[in-house]
Structure 1
């Protein structure tokens, strides 16, 4: 597999690091796309040593910055003959953050990193992905989208550039969940957009995994204690990394596109009902996702906004 090229964003910790190691062990040419090169170089060396695979490269990428994405994609096109697999693993969630943060393009930071940045990368690398025999893109989603089973939950489209940052309360957790829902909707849109180009794109709903000490220490004392307790039973990131690998390499998913896949590697479906007992099954189960994700009006609005942002 030394000729197969996989790009993994946020590959210096957690599931991203475990995925980079998995692909390296399997013989893939791994490109670690990371924001902090200082921390990431140690991880790169660790993966090379553990996998005995020297084809593990490190390139700088800040997914929240369109300029950084342009520079990264330009470097990829100059140095690699194609891209076989692109995994959007990097995400922004600053636990306990109470102030609005904007990207260099003045997009709310969660949405810039978790939704619009990955979409921009898909556009810029599409031609290079087309050169692969079976190109696949995978986006890391989250169980936080289950909040949209609440009929009152919605994406605040009028505040994605911080238009109301002075008058509206900021919740890092709401922005994270909303941006991941936006990523899912845009993944569905991209699947239709890439249908005739042979590029398959799906999303994986990440279930609970052990959190790093660095992540837990960012939390408030109450949430920190709960996180340490949950970590006692949470599975290691390697299990989810195996899902990354399977979805992006197996024959089982070679023709699957435009789907959300759960941690059991099952294709999920939009919920049929979101009331009563059915709603409880939605919330505690793993086979359905909110109808909000397949509402055409939300898709059209997000796609139009995304196109405008990445074209500006």
Structure 2
């Protein structure tokens, strides 16, 4: 057993503070719970957040609760390519390597009825949930290679089950809001489409990074308790439903434990290119999507839509990601 070392009157295990994890959107919900979990285990945690005013308060909370002073806060807007490049440049200048990269930040603005575009004129859901993580992965890959066990984890969603509908497609022709004046905006559809695109990129990037020994997986986030701030954004019906579900929905800390386990345990040390459910089981592509099988797919957690395994979809989203990020 390693000898504990005293730093600022706090107890750590020698070497553990050199394990570095970046968590995007680490100032609330699952991201905050995950930052606390990693910090409590002695990791050096980089909170990559957009709102620095809110995040600074959370950083202090996590530091005090974990007794870990290696909790760093760095500004990052995942929807902005300029912000991503600045963040990566500053991170590389500050830290010699990266062990774990968790893409937790996401854009889902409940009640939004209009197309919102990023600084690069990309629909905001896709800029934040798909193309931002793609660029971060590419820019940080060289630092991840320096780790003995580099892992990337993408936060996915049960919303992708909508793709069990054979008519559901990603609107590849409208990711820059080309049809924002003629197509009705649906925040839930854009969220689901962008997360499906992220899942497809998970599979593709796992292949691309295999020779560099960087593992890339996705976690399908199940229901968790919503914050008061989130519930306030909902319409009256969904607000009542959300309050009712919060009585039974688990706390974000449970999903944060899944983040930690997938990114640190020996169980997943050789797993890459997989979608993992909230039970820590590897989800398989569906073979049947009609009748009773369809119902089992929708209400179960063992299969994901075959749409995600379509090689043409993979080429489309990969080429588009490369083109838009100039990587």
Superposition TM-score tier, normalisation by shorter sequence: over 0.9
Corresponding position of 1:245: 260
Counterpart residue number, 1:158? 173
Of 33, 37, 42, which residue of structure 2 is paired with 1:27?
42
Count residues in correspondence. 312
Q: Which residue of 1 is the match for residue 84 of structure 2?
A: 69
**Counterpart-to-counterpart distance in 2, 1:254 and 1:72:** 27
Show CA shifts across 1:60-112 (max 9, x none). Answer: 00000000000000011000010000000000000010000000011100000
- Residue matched to 1:40: 55
Using structure 2 for the length normalisation, give the TM-score: 0.95
The reply on whether 1:52 has 2:79 as its aligned counterpart is: no
**Partner residue in 1 for 2:220:** 205
Q: In the TM superposition, what whole-angstrom CA distance separates every residue of 1:263-287 from its partner, at most 9, and x where no partner exists?
A: 0000000001000111111000001
Shift of 1:33: 0.2
SS of the residue 1:2 aligns to: helix
**Distance (whole Å) between structure 1 residues aligned to residue 90 and residue 213 of structure 2:** 23
* Equivalence for 1:11: 26
Partner of 1:170: 185
Matched, 1:287 2:264: no
Equivalents in 1 of 2:85, 2:67: separation in Å? 31
Superposition pairs of residues 77-88 of structure 1, within 5 angstroms: 77-88=92-103
Q: Does 1:122 align with 2:137?
A: yes
How high is the TM-score relative to the length of structure 1?
A: 0.99
Can you give the 5+ residue segments of structure 1 that lack an aligned partner in the other structure? none
Matched, 1:260 2:267: no
Distance 1:76 1:176 in 2: 29
Residue deviations 1:233-260 (CA, integer Å, cap 9, x gap): 0000000000000000000000100000
CA distance in 2, matches of 1:212, 1:94: 14
Separation (CA, whole Å) in 1 of partners of 2:224 and 2:114: 27
C-alpha separation in 2, matches of 1:281 and 1:63:
35
Quote how far apart the aligned CAs of 1:8 are: 0.1
Structure 2 residue aligned with 1:275: 290
> Take 2:208 and 2:120, find their aligned partners in 1: how far apart are those partners?
24
**How much does 1:27 deviate?**
0.3
What secondary structure sits across from 1:62 in the alignment?
coil
The DSSP-based 3-state class of the residue aligned with 1:7 is strand
- Indicate which of 106, 127, 132 corresponds to 1:91: 106
Distance in 1 (CA, whole Å) between partners of 2:244 and 2:191 is: 22
**Which residue in the other structure is 1:148 paired with?**
163
Asked which structure has the greater CA Rg, the reply is: 2
In the other structure, the counterpart of 1:223 is 238
Question: Which consecutive residues of structure 2, in runs of 5 or more, have no partner in the other structure?
Answer: 1-15
After superposing on structure 2, the runs of 4+ consecutive aligned residues of structure 1 that deviate more than 4 Å are: none
Distance 1:72 1:218 in 2: 30
Task: Give the structure 2 partner of residue 190 of structure 1.
Answer: 205
TM-align CA RMSD: 0.6
Structure 1 residue matching 2:242: 3-state secondary structure = helix
